[in-house]
Amino acid sequence: MFLLLVLGVVIGVAYIYREIIVKGKKCTSKTKLHGKTVIVTGSNTGIGKTTAIDLAKRGARVILACRSKQRGEAALEEISRVSGSSQVVFMQLDLGSLKSVRSFAENFLKSEPRLDILINNADEYRNRSLSLHFLGIRILLSADTGNGVHMQGRTEDGLGLMFGVNHVGHFLLTNLLLERLKECGPSRVVNVSSTAHNFGKIDFDCLNTHKALGLGTSFMEVLQYYSDSKLCNVLFTHELAKRLQGTKVTCYSLHPGAINSELSRSQSSVLKFFLKPITVYFFKNTEQGCQTTLHCALQDGIEHLSGHYFSNCTVREVYDKAKDDAVAKKLWELSERLCGLA
C-alpha cells in the first residue's frame, strides 16, 4: 500500500512538472494580421517554421528568410499547405554573409511595401545534427560521432561563425529594415535569444583583434561562445529599445524554452530510440517552443516593456551584465563598424 502511495505521488509530481514546467504557458493573443507583413529568419525548420505557420494562419504575409533554397522552398510548400495561406513567400538569406543580408534587405524593400514584425529567430548550428535546446543551449549530437557541438569557423566576411550569424547578421538586417518598420508602426522586432545568455560574456579585446567571441574549438569553449552570442542578442535588444524611443517600434528578446527541434534529422534509429523518452518528457515540442516568440510579437499591452527579456510568455529580470548601458552601446558601435554601417 505504501509503495502504491509513493508511486502515485511520483506520477502526480511528474505529470505536474510536465504540464506546468515543461509545456509552459501559451500565447493567448487573438490578434489577426490581415494586411500585415512579417519576416521570420530561420523559418524552414524548428520553432521558426512553427512560428511562421501560426502567423500565416492569422492572415499575415509571411516572408521565410532562410539560407538554404531547397529547404526554404520545401518549408514554403508545407507552411502554405498547413496554414491554408497563399501569402507565404520564400526569400533567400544567409546571415553568415553581409553581402547576402544587404541583398535580402534591398530585394525586400523593393518588392514589399510593408514590414510590421521582424522576428530574428535563426541560429547557427551544424546541419547534420540533433539539436536539443537544453536550458536554452542547443546541444548538438553529431550523426557521425554521437557527440560534439559547433566547430569553430568563420563567416565569409571573416567573423567568428557564432558571433557573425547569431548577432552581426541580425544586427545588420534589423538596421537596414528599421526605416520601413518605423513607417509601418506600431511595429515590433523580436530577437530569439536564450537563457544561456546568463553564462555569456563579451570579450571586446578578442572581438576587436580577431572579430570573434573566442578562438577555441573544444566542446566547452564553443558552448561558451554560444552563450556569449546569446548575451549579444539581449544587449542588442536593450540598446535598440533606447534608440527607438519616440518611435512606434518596440523590441523584445526571449528564451523559447528547452526544445527538441531536430530529432528526426540524420540520426541512427538506435540513437533516436534511446533519446526519445528524454526528449518527449523533458523538452517542449516546436509548437510549445514558439509561444513566447508569438507573445512578444502579438500581445497587446507590452509596448512599455520594450527592450525587456521574456521567458514562458512572462517578462523576466536579467543580470546586470545583460542590461549594462555602456557595454550595450560599445557592442552596438563595434557591430556598426564590423558590418560597415559606421
Is residue 236 a contact partner of residue 100, using CB atoms and an 8 Å limit?
Answer: no
340: left (phi over 0), alpha (psi -120 to 50) or beta: left
Q: Is 173 among the domain residues?
A: yes
Whether 225 is catalytic? no
Q: What is the pLDDT of residues 272-285, one digit of tens each?
A: 565 555 555 567 78
DSSP state for residue 27 in the 8-state scheme: -
Q: Print pLDDT tens along the chain (342 aa).
A: 766 665 655 555 554 555 555 668 999 999 999 999 999 999 999 999 999 999 999 999 999 999 999 999 999 999 999 999 999 999 999 999 999 999 999 999 999 999 999 999 998 753 333 344 444 444 444 333 222 334 568 999 999 999 999 999 999 999 999 999 999 999 999 999 999 999 999 999 999 999 999 999 888 898 899 999 999 999 999 999 999 999 999 999 999 987 765 544 444 566 556 555 555 556 778 999 999 999 999 999 999 999 999 999 999 999 999 999 999 999 999 999 999 998
Which residues pair with residue 134 across a beta bridge?
137
Q: Is 211 among the domain residues?
A: yes
Tell me, what's the pLDDT at 276? 57
Q: Is 9 among the domain residues?
A: no
Q: Is 322 among the domain residues?
A: yes
Q: What is the pLDDT of residues 240-294, one digit of tens each?
A: 999 999 999 999 999 998 776 554 444 456 655 655 555 555 677 899 999 999 9
| pLDDT, averaged across the chain | 86
* Domain harbouring 229, CATH code: 3.40.50.720
Q: How many domains does the chain have?
A: 1
Q: Which three cell numbers stand for residue 134?
A: 537544453
Q: Is 227 among the domain residues?
A: yes
Q: Is 123 among the domain residues?
A: yes
Q: Is 23 among the domain residues?
A: no
Give the domain extent around 126. 33-338
Is residue 112 a contact partner of residue 63, using CB atoms and an 8 Å limit?
Answer: yes
Burial (CB count within 10 angstroms: exposed 0-12, middle 13-18, buried 19+), residue 264:
exposed
Catalytic residue among 17, 125, 225, 226: 226
